Amino acid sequence: MTGERQTQSAGARLRELHRPGDPFVLANAWDAGSARVLAALGAQAIGTSSAAHAFTLGRPDMGHVSRDEALAHAEMLVKATPLPVSGDFENGFARDAEAVATTVRLAAAAGLGGISIEDTDLPGSGAYEFDLAVDRIAAAVQAARSLPDDFVLLARADGVLNRSYDLDEGIRRLQAFEAAGADAVYLPMPADLDAVARICATVSVPVNALAAGPFTRVTHQQFADAGVARISLGSALARTTHRAIVDAARAIFDDGDFSRLGNGISGTDIDAMLTAFD
């Protein structure tokens, strides 16, 4: 890949990657440096992560980042590499359907190729009532369709993750989101891979799966066999980075042991990745 920007829109390039049974990895970054490293290592698309972004601001996840902050962060990642970027835009930063539609338009103006909108009534963990959840996605879809360029709208049903409803209700919502025009759907952290396969079998649009928790033991081929079209990393890479910091810092401050610092990547190697698109 060269540093030249592609003539095809970010949304069109992102859409082409969504192939059920042949999933791409959405590499969720948290700053320009991590985005450039991931791109240099072979990522096909970059994703924002609401949690990883919040961590960079010294805040917890779940509704503690404003829409303006998320837009500025997304625009920074868009400019970092030539890859298309999909934004984790939580609940659209609004309860009202028309305000969610405004978020879609602002996200496109920031250069994103698509965003995800979830049904969590932030800053709590409860889910929006069914009809409101569907109306919000319908408004987001209408806004996306009115844009001059392609834009991938992924609708999330987060109630299984947040324990506010069961898998059957989650699938009912995904099917309703599809009927409302969502381009792709996502139910984070169902019980197991069989549940992922069931989700894929009950909708006709591409399905995103999250490689986190027990699903870190699932291979790319197993996700493919389940029918997944996109595998997102969420905040997992950011949390892995924080694990390295915590383990090294504990060894230093508790034991006076600096040996873990010897595991770092060389300046030459990281500089090569950071400048690969210049």
Q: What is the DSSP string of 211-232?
A: --GGGGGS-HHHHHHHT-SEEE
CA distance 51 to 183: 23
The distance between the two most distant Cα atoms of the chain, rounded to a whole number of Å, is 59
Q: Report the candidate in 30, 2, 9, 8 with the shortest Cα–Cα distance to residue 241.
A: 30
For position 1, what pLDDT does the model report?
43
For residue 39, which amino acid is it?
A: A
| Least confident range of 4-13, 80-89, 222-231, 266-275 | 4-13
Domain spans, the chain: 17-235
129-184 confidence digits (pLDDT tens): 999 999 999 999 999 999 999 999 999 999 999 999 999 999 999 999 999 999 99
pTM score of the predicted model: 0.94
Taking the C-alpha atoms of residue 35 and residue 79, their distance in angstroms, rounded to an integer, is 10
- pLDDT confidence of residue 278: 87
Q: What rounded mean pLDDT belongs to the chain?
A: 96
Q: What is the CATH number of domain 17-235?
A: 3.20.20.60
- Of 82, 60, 73, nearest to 14 by C-alpha is 82
Whether 134 and 92 have beta carbons less than 8 Å apart is answered as: no
d(CA 35, CA 250): 27
Coil vs helix vs strand at 164? coil
* Rounded-to-integer distance, Cα 240 and Cα 246, Å: 10
pLDDT tens-digit readout, 75-131: 999 999 999 999 999 999 999 999 999 999 999 999 999 999 999 999 888 999 999
Q: What is the pLDDT of residue 6?
A: 66
